[in-house]
Amino acid sequence: MEKNNVCINCFDMLNNIGGSLNLNETEVDVLTKPRRSFTFSFPVIMDDGKTKIFTGYRIQFNNARGPTKGGTRFHPKVNLEEIKTLAFLMTLKCAVTNLPFGGAKGGVVCDPKKISKGELERVSRAYVRELYRFIGPETDIPAPDVNTNPQIMAWMLDEYEKITGKHAHGFITGKPVELGGSQIRDISTSMGGYFVLREILKQMDIKSEGTKVVVQGFGNVGMNIAKILHEREYKVIAVSDSKFGIYNEDGLDIKKVIEHKNEAKALSSFQSAKEITNKEILEIECDVLILAALEDQITKENVDKVKTRMILELANRPITPEADVILAKRVIPVIPDILANAGGVVVSYLEWVQNSMNYYWTEEEVLKKLEEYMTTATGELEKTCKNYSCMMRDGLYISAINKILHVERLRGVLK
């Protein structure tokens, strides 16, 4: 049982910084063994009247800094080790951004594209029924993740409130605004990424105007970061979705690209741009390559073809560890995911705070608070990198782990 509860991937992530922090055996245990792991199965009656058994997970990795926080994903390839790793990364992400949260993650093994809306609702409610005794506003706060959205959060909230018999908007974040959701939640990850990129460019004395940007992934996050940068005079020269990419060395009119994508449901056939593949978009010469698609996009097989001055990770784990080492040797800075895409969890925290007060801020107020959190975290990163003479990913890990272990010592868990 003890071995099964260890996060194997976490050992690999800690290897690079182990020497810098000189971690002892107990500290490694604290950082690699989740505090609570839930694996469960539950029945759902499908539209045809038959019962199907689904498997669900929830990992509450570390709660030293506060209630655990993390998304819930619905995907056919969800597995326990993946959820452990993501919960570990959420723990680091909350520490990096100075949020009073620990890290968690959850998931259900299912394909939302192959079940009806009614079946999706029943799966969502059943998931909450299995977990409600172990989650809540002061214990563990779920949120959207892959294939989950504000509507699913609303179903989960409703089920939790029915079971507990009281209103508890702070039980879950990423909700519709009408049910206690926060302003700018839909663009929070992209805005957070923009604030971090802006600060890093300032540190490197690079002007934003005319900076050539390539965006891989044109879903909600990729589309919004492209729009945000275009409006601030960055030159977005290429974007891609899961099928196609488009490229124009002189820059794309992102507003028109979004209109075309919404109308045609694809990027192909957009005028004034050359069609390229997802593989080719990673090889375009640019100043900033933004990875906003899936994990493992840059690997040891294609890393040598990457021609960018800097990479911004808006997707989770888009660069493999082997490729990361090669990028470091090539002196291509990578702004890691645990900071770059942390805008989502920061606004989730702000949503939770608003729910706790039952008082809600304007869009402008939420945006200002997000900017403060992201710029403060980026400033801390610069100091850590200087103190430890390390790359950004190691700097973020060192900073987060120091904060977590410090709180564990204050609590008496560590001596």
Q: Tell whether the model's pLDDT for residue 18 goes beyond 80.
A: no
Kindly tell me if the per-residue pLDDT of 65 is higher than 50: yes
Catalytic residue among 84, 93, 105, 403: 105
* Annotation marks residue 162 as catalytic: no
Structure tokens at 25: 């055996």
Return the amino acid letter for 406. H
pLDDT of residue 357 exceeding 50, the answer is: yes
Helices 188-203 and 363-388 pack at an angle, to 10 degrees, of 40
Residue 75, Cβ neighbours under 10 Å: how many?
17
End-to-end Cα separation, the chain, in angstroms: 26
For the segment 126-165, what is each residue's pLDDT rounded down to a tens digit? 999 999 999 999 999 999 998 999 999 999 999 999 999 9
% of the chain surpassing 70 pLDDT: 99
pLDDT tens digits, one per residue of 165-182: 999 999 999 999 999 999
Q: Which CATH superfamily is domain 187-332 in?
A: NAD(P)-binding Rossmann-like Domain (3.40.50.720)
CB-CB contact of 216 with 282 (8 Å)? yes
Whole-number average pLDDT of the chain: 94
Q: Do 37-168 and 187-332 agree at the fold level?
A: yes
Amino acid 4: pLDDT: 63
Question: Quick one: which of 194, 189, 230, 197 has its CA closest to 316?
Answer: 189
Q: Which of 345, 75, 303 is nearest to 192 (CA)?
A: 345
3-state secondary structure of 7: coil
- Torsions phi, psi of 24, nearest 5? -90, 175
pLDDT value for 1: 37
Domain ranges for the chain: 37-168, 187-332
What value does the mean pLDDT take over residues 70-83? 95
Q: Does position 219 have pLDDT exceeding 50, yes or no?
A: yes
- Measured CA to CA, the distance from residue 181 to residue 350 in angstroms comes to 10
Is the pLDDT at 2 greater than 50? The verdict is no
Q: What is the pLDDT of residue 209?
A: 87
37-168 topology per CATH: Rossmann fold (3.40.50)
Tens of pLDDT, residue by residue over 260-303, are: 999 888 888 888 889 998 889 999 999 999 999 888 899 999 99
Supply angle C-alpha 124, 128, 129, rounded to 5: 115
